[in-house]
């Protein structure tokens, strides 16, 4: 098995997700890796971009390993769960919170647009809850409570709930293919 190690410490948005996908494809082609091992930490970001990143990683013809090297915040938890093999450094964390929406200053919405926005809120929260509950032992009810409280959880919780299999320190072997994905 050839493993390529990839560091990602960045937010998740449409532009970064496109570059992330392109970089992963290039790394697989360049190294002929059969496994991508991510040293991953993210403040989260766009739900749509995070779901796309999750689905992309699940579709790759290589095995994916995720290692939380700092924090998994918000939609980053979904991306993290794309891997079947998941670890966390002892001092890492996981933040769960509900969906947020940014309205520009002076934004005006019609009744239809407001209904559309509320529908989107519900739909995105449901997608996130479905993925997390399918990939862990956290129930949908527990997730709704976490989302509405805005909870940071540590590695003991993550291991107990199946977010990770093990707490261990990240280590990249000498001479292993290693890439840092940091996008402007």
Which band of pLDDT confidence, cut at 50, 70 and 90, is reported for residue 115? confident
Among 10-14, 94-98, 114-118, 171-175, which stretch is predicted with the lowest mean pLDDT? 114-118
Mean pLDDT (the chain, rounded): 94
pLDDT for 138 beyond 80: yes
Is residue 40 within 8 A of residue 73, CB to CB? The reply is: no
- Using CA atoms, how far apart are residues 98 and 89, in angstroms rounded to an integer? 25
Is residue 92 within 8 A of residue 155, CB to CB? The reply is: yes
pLDDT at 13: 96
pTM value is 0.93
- Using CA atoms, how far apart are residues 184 and 175, in angstroms rounded to an integer? 27
pLDDT at 90: 98
Measuring CA to CA, which residue among 59, 174, 72, 60 is closest to residue 128? 72
Q: Which bin fits 113, alpha (ψ -120 to 50), beta or left (φ > 0)?
A: alpha
pLDDT at 111: 87
SS3 of residue 138 by DSSP: coil
Which band of pLDDT confidence, cut at 50, 70 and 90, is reported for residue 77? very high
Domains and CATH numbers, the chain: 3-97+110-181 (3.90.226.10)
SS3 of residue 131 by DSSP: helix
- Using CA atoms, how far apart are residues 130 and 110, in angstroms rounded to an integer? 30
172 DSSP 8-state letter = P
pLDDT at 89: 98
Average pLDDT over residues 49-77: 98
Both tokens assigned to 146? 């976490």
Average pLDDT over residues 88-98: 95
Longest dimension (CA), the chain: 59
Both tokens assigned to 84? 């079947």
Measuring CA to CA, which residue among 53, 58, 51 is closest to residue 23? 53
Q: What is the pLDDT of residues 63-73, one digit of tens each?
A: 999 999 999 99
pLDDT at 106: 77
Selected residue with higher pLDDT from 149 and 8: 8
Average pLDDT over residues 148-172: 96
As a whole-number percent, the residues of the chain with pLDDT over 70 amount to 99
Which band of pLDDT confidence, cut at 50, 70 and 90, is reported for residue 113? confident
């Amino acid at each position: 098995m050839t493993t390529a190690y990839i560091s990602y410490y960045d937010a998740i948005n449409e532009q970064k997700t496109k570059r992330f996908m392109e970089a992963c494809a290039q790394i697989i082609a360049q190294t002929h890796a059969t496994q991508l091992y991510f040293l991953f930490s993210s403040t989260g970001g766009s739900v749509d971009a995070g779901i796309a990143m999750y689905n992309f990683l699940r579709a790759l013809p290589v095995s994916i390993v995720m290692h939380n090297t700092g924090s998994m915040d918000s939609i980053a938890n979904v991306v993290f769960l794309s891997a079947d093999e998941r670890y966390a450094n002892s001092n890492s964390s996981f933040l769960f919170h509900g969906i947020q929406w940014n309205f520009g200053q002076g934004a005006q919405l019609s009744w239809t647009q407001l209904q559309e926005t509320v529908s989107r809120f519900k739909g995105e929260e449901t997608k996130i809850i479905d993925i997390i509950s399918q990939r862990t032992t956290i129930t949908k009810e527990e997730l709704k409570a976490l989302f509405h409280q805005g909870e940071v959880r540590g590695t003991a919780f993550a291991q107990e709930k199946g977010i990770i299999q093990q707490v261990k320190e990240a280590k990249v072997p000498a001479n292993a293919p290693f890439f840092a994905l940091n996008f402007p």
